Amino acid sequence: MLLSLLTRKEKLKFLDLVMHMVAVDGEPTEIEQRLLNIMLAEVGDGIIKEYTYTLSKDLVETVDYFKQANPSVKNIVYLNLLKVTMMDDFYNTTEHIFLEDMRIEFSISDLKKKQLMRLVYNERDLRERAKRVVSN
């Protein structure tokens, strides 16, 4: 969501960060993999061809890069990290700890976190309503 607004380097760094997040608990779930594919499509073909699909050796460097970014970039990155963890029904403590660490590192307030979470819930609700409407 809104990943197309990021610069080329921000997109690459985001992909690195999201790969680290889904890897904290092992292999990506099927839902996480689908979301990653959607996010890859959103960042564009040029980025997909450039990205290596492997974890960088330095997560700290990636986090530091975003710590220096403007608040809009941090919010877009955090929103998409939230989306990955909240779209399946499986609660994973390790991913949520990772998310909370990123929230603190990015200086995102609790209020902003709640606003961003609401966006993800609204998107989920809309998707479920759409499924009900088209299936009846």
Q: 20-65: per-residue pLDDT in tens?
A: 888 887 777 787 778 777 887 788 777 767 666 556 678 899 999 9
d(CA 11, CA 17): 10
Domain residue spans in the chain?
Answer: 3-126
In order, the DSSP letters of 86-130 are HSSS---HHHHHHHHHHHHHTT--HHHHHHHHHHHHHHHHHHHHH
Homologous superfamily of 3-126 in CATH?
Answer: TerB-like (1.10.3680.10)
pLDDT tens track for 94-117: 988 999 999 999 999 999 999 999
